[in-house]
Amino acid sequence: MSEEKKTHKWEMVIDLDRCTGCEACVVACHAENNVRISGEDEAAQGRAINWIRIERYWEGEYPDVRTRFMPVLCQHCDDAPCEPVCPVYASYHTPEGLNAQVYNRCIGVRYCGNNCPYTARQFNWFDPHWDEPLAEQLNPDVTVRQNGIMEKCTFCVQRIRQGKERAEKEGRPVRDGDITPACVQTCPTSALVFGDRRDPDSRVSKLARQDRAFHLLESVGTHPAVTYLKRLT
Amino acid sequence: MRPVTEHEMTVRALFKPSVYLESLVAKLRDAGVPEDAVEILSPLPLHKAALLRPARVPLHVITIIAGVVGISLGVMVAGGTALLYPIVTGEKPIVAPPVLGIIAFETMMLVAIVTTFVTMLVRIRSESRNAAERDPRIDDGFIEVILSLPTDSARFEMVRDLLQQTGALEIRHRHPTPSVPHGAEREGRVTAAVLVAAWSLCGMQACSRDMQEQPSYQPQEAPRLHSPVGSVPRESRSVLKSLPTQQLVDEGAGLFRINCSHCHGMDGTGNGLVIAYLKEKPTDLLAPDVQALSEAALYDTVTYGRSVDGRDVMPPFKGEMSAEERRSVVMYVKSLSQP
Amino acid sequence: MEQEDRHWERIPKINHELLAPLLVTHWTYFLLIGVLACLVAAGAGAWTYQVQTGIGQTNLHPPIFWAVYIASFIFWVGASHSGTFISGVLRLTKAEWRRPVTRIAELMTFISLIIATLFVFYHLGRVWRWYYLIPYPNQREMWPNFRSPLMWDATAVFTYATASTIYLYLPLIPDFALLRERIGGWRKPLYRVLSLGWTGTQNQWQILETAMRIITPLIVMVMISVHSIVGWDFGVSLVPAWHSTIFAPYFVVGAVHSGMGLVAIGLYVLRKIYRLDDYITPEHFDKLAKLMLVTTLSLAYLYFAELLTIWYANIPDHMWVVDALLTGPFAVPFWFMATCIYILPLATLTNPAFRQWPLGVMIIGVLINIGMYIERVLILVPPLSYPRLPFNWGSYFPSWVEMTIIVGSLALAVLLYALAVKIVPVISIWEEKE
């Protein structure tokens, strides 16, 4: 299977023991991916769009309360429930294991959003808007999505493309650490690690093999590409 | 019903619903009137009607054939299109048998029902009598028997007597004019319109231009945020190294090839590829008066372009090249005169 | 039916009485049309507003991506089962009492399907790209994804709409021929086209009856498949309390249940307005009420089976939903719904005297439809409100745009029915003569 070795399988590891819940990843993702700013009113309605969010859970009873943080983003499932339900192929699986969303195909039936057990998919309820001069900081490599379509984490596919193209130009294979999505790059505690799971020596492969590893909602059988690490106490 | 010819006449008899049609038809047959020349019009289906000429192909056979066609249509649509454009979604197979079953069931029903309906329409129309012949009293519960007879007065008399004996309330006869097929032209036009619409559909694009205009800053787009008037680049000309290094000149040569050579030519003599289309010949950069210009003057020309008599003959390169790049181009132009 | 058994002498009377609704128009009819048109205009305005500004005019938000539009879609597809069931199944079983009821029910099927299709369009995020759902050849060689249950749905609803239009039309052909003779004015050319040159020759009768005999069982199968597929839209998903094998039969029975209720309403109203007491008798209401009783019991049985399996297995993700329904935030609508569609019909329709009371049966029909609408919303909203990661739980109540569109669509359905009554005889004239 030499052909298979050539393609990558992009995966992420999230170390919950390292996550401090600072939400730097959320901000970085907003900046990198032109995620629309929803504003106060829409956020109150539950419509704030986040491609990655920090889920916060409380443990114990007052005063012995502990906070648990869990960053959740699109899990890029191998058997993604969101993909086959799309009637127009807006949601499909790339050969590199990404769960891609084709904005131009999407007609907004929103079945994928319902069928995602992680509620990772977000919908554009209105046309996006940025106050001047905020529009000037928009990333030209990422499409600004219009009203009426679904969107979600892409694992910063534009950065993956860039990394692969640079490596090709320099005539070398993509090295581990060449490609970092915005959230991974920003994480101050390096709780997020990204890489090629087909490469057994990549950091992501090594971490995912640890016995702390688990998948979110593993029982649903979606085979997520995001592995969480958590020490059992 | 066989077509009515010019040598025939139509006899119409109106009966009460209690008429015993079977014996009437039998009597007519004995009198030499063939069964297919007899037509019975009624406001209700007469299940015991004597004459029913069965169609050549029974309707249910057509329905079954159409159903099979529908199944293959469904398999083609659901499986064939998936194979034509195989897109991986989740771990579902490209051609999934349960999906084929569901879609094929629906298309089977669709094609079967529509075909049955259309066949029925065609047959109803072909069995239709001229509506003007129809007695409106039929709707109030009478039965009309229509006979097509050869124009022969003796036989007509006999048939009329026969009908009267059976209890006809009223008997009329006339020589019909062959009916002219109507509406064919309009139907043709409708068909043509449908075909044209279907053909134009084939050229349709499956992509939208919905998100084509992006608010983000795009490559090749004119700069949006301009520096205020009079501001100086942080790395301005004065702070740049004054001596042209070979590296700077080489970089300038590359930029010259990209930005300048199509007009000024690869060697700078002004014989670029596009001069045939220019009204104003580009300047020969090797000319002594050009080479005599100062670096600053050349830099300004590259930056702001040049205009002769109010017409722009050379565009500004402020947007295309940075200050440093423009300077390296100037270095290269200066180096052209050196051997 | 033996020819000798027929009462041919009644035919002129039937003609006269059943054509009257098409010929005589009371001034209140125009008032009704006016009011309905205003409501439809309001709904159209709300939809335009929603398309212009964004689907955000609804109160949808993650994790509730589907709500009342889809609930209305299910409801109206369900309502369309009225005609097919009454006229299809009863024609198959040769139940003679169906005769005056079929046309009323078939018209409902036809109009319900138009309204149901509209709701798909209200729901789409980019409705101007709806044609991506059609498998048409195009430059990109892109086809729709038939692995998606929504494509099954689109195929099935299209088949069903086509088939039920044909099914409505078939027994109309002889009636159109009658109307062609009896009604002049602007409707004359219409009837001339629609009657297809029907003259009533014996071969025409035979072809028509054969076609109806063939199409009737087919359309009953299509009817069952359509609501099964609508049920599978939910059943095949991963959403807790949707993912259930019982959804397909449950949806079919539920659809027939609400369809019966609608027929009861239609029968009562038309009988009252057009004084069709000679044709639609308490006997008909009695038969209809018995059918409603059957669907009530079947539906209650299926509902119990579903809740019991979830409750006993006690899987947390599923139990959140059931708890929310039985005792939680959705308890009030849930128990109201249960009262409307199970308890009241069972309490009343089991009484033979009640079944003979047209007004009572009609009221139960209204209650069943209100209850079934709430039931559709409860199928959608509570399971979506409790996704597996509790961080994302949400709740939902429709916005004014959604409500205006729903009311406007209901008005459109009634308006279409009121207009259709002036073109189509509400009781199949020739079948009644027979």
CATH of the domain at A81: 3.30.70.20
Interface test mutation site (partner B, options C1, C2, C5, C8, max chain B beta carbons within 10 A): C8
pLDDT, tens only, B222-238:
667 655 556 666 655 55
pLDDT at B306: 87
- CA dist., res. A181 & res. A172, Å (int): 20
pLDDT at C70: 95
Is residue A151 classed as helix, strand or coil in its secondary structure? Answer: strand
Which residues share a beta bridge with A131? Answer: none
Domains and CATH numbers, chain C: 18-133+143-433 (1.20.1630.10)
Query: Does A124 score more than 70 pLDDT?
Result: yes
- d(CA A168, nearest CA chain B) in Å: 22
Query: Does C12 score more than 90 pLDDT?
Result: no
- Beta carbons of C230 and C74 less than 8 angstroms apart: yes
**Chain B residues close to C221, C-beta within 8 Å:** 109
Interface test mutation site (partner C, options B117, B125, B137, max chain C beta carbons within 10 A): B117
pLDDT at C199: 81
> A213-214 and B306-308: which strand pairing?
unpaired
pLDDT at C4: 46
- Chain A residues whose C-beta is within 8 A of a chain C C-beta are 42, 45-47, 53, 55-57, 72, 81, 84-89, 105-111, 113-115, 117-119, 121-127, 146-150, 216-217, 220
pLDDT (average), residues C378-389: 93
- CA dist., res. A202 & res. A196, Å (int): 6
Query: Does A179 score more than 60 pLDDT?
Result: yes
CB pair distance less than 8 Å for B216 and A77: no
CB count within 10 Å of CB C163 equals 26
CB pair distance less than 8 Å for B120 and C207: yes
Phi, psi of A67 (to 5 degrees): -100, 140
Q: What is the share, in percent, of chain B residues with pLDDT greater than 70?
A: 79
CB nearest to B78's CB, from C8, C146, C180: C146
pLDDT, tens only, B79-88:
999 998 888 9
pLDDT (average), residues C378-399: 91
CB pair distance less than 8 Å for C162 and B43: no
pLDDT, tens only, C217-228:
999 999 999 999
CB-based contacts of B131: which residues, under 8 Å, 6+ apart? C180, C197, C199
pLDDT at A136: 80
Rounded CA Rg of chain B: 45
Overall size of chain A counted in residues: 233
Give the residue carrying structure tokens 């892109």.
Answer: C142
| Total count of domains within chain A | 1
**Chain A residues close to C157, C-beta within 8 Å:** none
CB pair distance less than 8 Å for C126 and A57: no
Q: CATH 3.30.70: which residues of chain B? A: 8-57+107-177
C264 or B27, which is more confident: C264
C314: phi > 0 → left, psi -120 to 50 → alpha, else beta; which?
left
Q: State the helix-helix crossing angle for C331-338 and C316-326, rounded to 10 degrees.
A: 70
Query: Does C5 score more than 90 pLDDT?
Result: no
pLDDT at A4: 47
Q: Which stretch of DSSP H or E encloses residue C362?
A: helix C358-385
| Residue C243: closest C-alpha in chain A | A115
CB pair distance less than 8 Å for C144 and A88: yes
pLDDT, tens only, B172-197:
777 655 544 455 566 677 788 888 88
How many pairs of residues across A and B have Cβ atoms under 8 Å apart? Answer: 62
pLDDT at B164: 80
pLDDT (average), residues C20-40: 89
pLDDT at C149: 94
Q: Which CATH number fits domain B8-57+107-177: 3.40.1000, 1.10.8, 1.10.3210, 3.30.70?
A: 3.30.70
**Chain A residues close to B82, C-beta within 8 Å:** none
Interface test mutation site (partner B, options A93, A102, A134, max chain B beta carbons within 10 A): A93
pLDDT at B71: 96
Amino acid present at C366: V
Is residue A10 classed as helix, strand or coil in its secondary structure? Answer: strand
**Chain A residues close to C154, C-beta within 8 Å:** 87
Domain containing A200 equals: 2-229
pLDDT at B185: 65
- CA dist., res. C420 & res. C108, Å (int): 10
Average pLDDT, chain C: 89
pLDDT interval class at C3 (50, 70, 90): very low
- Beta carbons of C79 and C258 less than 8 angstroms apart: yes
Average the pLDDT over each of A54-63, A97-106, B17-26, B223-232 and give the range with the smallest value: B223-232
| Residue C148: closest C-alpha in chain B | B99
* Among B15, B181, B118, CA closest to C207: B118
The verdict on ipTM greater than 0.85 is yes
- Beta carbons of B314 and B305 less than 8 angstroms apart: yes
Query: Does A91 score more than 80 pLDDT?
Result: yes
Q: Which CATH number fits domain B237-335: 2.102.10.10, 1.10.760.10, 3.30.540.10, 3.20.20.70?
A: 1.10.760.10
- Beta carbons of B193 and C129 less than 8 angstroms apart: no
CB count within 10 Å of CB B194 equals 10
pLDDT, tens only, C305-341:
999 999 999 999 999 999 999 999 999 999 999 999 9
Chains that touch C (3 or more CB pairs under 8 A): A, B
| Residue B204: closest C-alpha in chain C | C138
Tokens of A111: 């079945």
Query: Does A1 score more than 50 pLDDT?
Result: no
pLDDT, tens only, C128-172:
889 899 988 877 778 899 999 999 999 999 999 999 999 999 988
pLDDT (average), residues C336-359: 92
Asked if omega into C137 is within 30° of 0 (cis), the reply is no
Average the pLDDT over each of B34-38, B101-105, C341-345 and give the range with the smallest value: B34-38
Interface test mutation site (partner A, options B81, B91, B221, max chain A beta carbons within 10 A): B91
Q: CATH 1.10.760.10: which residues of chain B? A: 237-335
Query: Does C96 score more than 70 pLDDT?
Result: yes
Using a CB–CB cutoff of 8 Å, tell me whether B22 touches chain C. no
Using a CB–CB cutoff of 8 Å, tell me whether A136 touches chain B. yes
| Residue B88: closest C-alpha in chain A | A93
pLDDT, tens only, C165-194:
999 999 888 888 888 888 877 888 888 888
pLDDT (average), residues C298-303: 94
**Chain B residues close to A128, C-beta within 8 Å:** 215
Query: Does B243 score more than 90 pLDDT?
Result: no
Query: Does B321 score more than 90 pLDDT?
Result: no
| Residue C134: closest C-alpha in chain A | A88
CB count within 10 Å of CB B245 equals 11
Average the pLDDT over each of A131-145, C205-219, C396-410 and give the range with the smallest value: A131-145
